[in-house]
Amino acid sequence: MSFDQSTGKVLWQTRLNASPESSPVTFSVDGKQYIAVVTGSGSPFGAAGRAFVPETTAPAAGVAVVVFELP
């Protein structure tokens, strides 16, 4: 989910193929800004976090990097 900083309004949201396994990073290329996050079951952070929500199952998807282009 992405929120407007001044109003708190949801700007956009999406469902990922698996749980986020990293903090998001932002970068720009040729004047376009992007946000990227690692998803899947490839980090100790993700494995440890699943212990706190036992009602959820480990994602079946492999590790992926998901990148969003900002308007």
Write out the chain's pLDDT in tens, 71 residues: 889 999 999 988 888 877 788 889 999 999 999 999 988 766 666 666 666 767 766 655 578 889 999 88
What is the model's pLDDT at position 8? 95
Range of the domain at 61: 19-69
- Report the number of distinct structural domains present in the chain: 1
User: In this structure, is residue 12 part of a structural domain?
Assistant: no
Q: Cα dihedral angle (51, 54, 60, 62), rounded to 10 degrees?
A: -20
pLDDT at position 39, please? 84
pLDDT of residue 17: 77
Is residue 13, in this structure, part of any structural domain at all? no
With respect to residue 8, please indicate whether it lies within any of the assigned structural domains: no
Q: pLDDT at position 15, please?
A: 85
For residue 47, the SS3 value is: helix
For residue 1, being part of any structural domain is answered with no
Q: What pLDDT is recorded for position 50?
A: 65
